[in-house]
Structures are given as C-alpha cells and as structure tokens.
C-alpha cells in the first residue's frame, strides 16, 4: 500500500527517467565533441553515472519489493565501480601511448611534462602544493 497516489509516483518516475536520459545524452555528446581522451572519459563517466543514478532513483518507487529496490541499487553501484575501473585503465593506456614517440621509444620530454602536469593534482589530495619534481 503506497502513501502517495500512483499518478504522483508515475510523474516522479517520468521526471527522473527523462533527467537521467538527458545526462546520458550529454555524456554521449561529450564523447563525440571533446578533443582528447581525458576530457572524453571525464564527460562520459560523470554523466553516465549521474544519468544511471537518476534513472534508478526514478524507478525505485515502482519496484515491487524491497529486494527489487536493493537489486537496482546494487546494479547502479556495480556499474559505478566498473566505470571507474574502465576509466582508469583507458586513461593509463592513454598516458603510456602519449609518452612514446612514433618509434615506440619513451619520450622523456613528454613524461616530464606529464609529471609536472599531474603532480599538483596528485598532491592536492595530501594538501601539499609543491609544483616541483
């Protein structure tokens, strides 16, 4: 027995699902439009996780039982973990590919520039703001 009328729950489901689809569409456009692999990964993973979260949140009131609702939440969490792992692996391969020149030799100049670019990002989590090597 529901506390809210079914038309109100249906409206909530429609609004959340359409909002989730909007974020899926935005992530797909970002995948096609952004210039490099890192921007594309960022747009795709953030938008897809939010889109799926909104869809799951919208479908939850329609779930037949608590077990079904928990399954939806578990699926969303597993997709978030899989997306993060996939994003990490793709970004790692992109860094390795960008650090090698056409002959397959390591490009030291590019590695130094990547380290100087990534070091402030890595150290921001520790609170250290050292921009040197």
Contact of 49 with 80, CB cutoff 8 Å:
yes
5 versus 75: the higher-pLDDT residue is 75
Q: Domain ranges for the chain, please list them.
A: 6-83, 99-133
Contact of 40 with 31, CB cutoff 8 Å:
yes
Q: Cα 13 to the chain's mean position, in Å?
A: 23
82 versus 128: the higher-pLDDT residue is 82
* The pLDDT of residue 2: 56
Residue 112's alpha-carbon distances to 35, 46, 89, 99, in angstroms, are 22, 28, 21, 9
> Which pTM value belongs to this model?
0.69
Contact of 118 with 133, CB cutoff 8 Å:
no
Question: What single DSSP character describes residue 46?
Answer: H
């Amino acid at each position: 027995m529901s506390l809210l009328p079914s038309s109100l729950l249906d409206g909530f489901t429609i609004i959340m699902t359409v909002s989730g689809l909007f974020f899926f569409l935005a992530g797909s456009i970002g995948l096609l439009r952004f210039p490099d692999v890192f921007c594309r990964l960022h747009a795709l993973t953030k938008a897809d996780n939010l889109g799926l979260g909104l869809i799951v949140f919208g479908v939850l009131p329609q779930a037949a039982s608590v077990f079904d609702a928990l399954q939806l939440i578990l699926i969303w969490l597993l997709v978030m973990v899989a997306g993060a792992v996939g994003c990490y692996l793709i970004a790692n391969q992109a860094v390795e590919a960008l650090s090698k020149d056409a002959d397959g030799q390591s490009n030291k100049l590019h590695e130094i520039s990547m380290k100087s670019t990534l070091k402030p990002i890595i150290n921001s989590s520790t609170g250290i703001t050292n921009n040197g090597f």
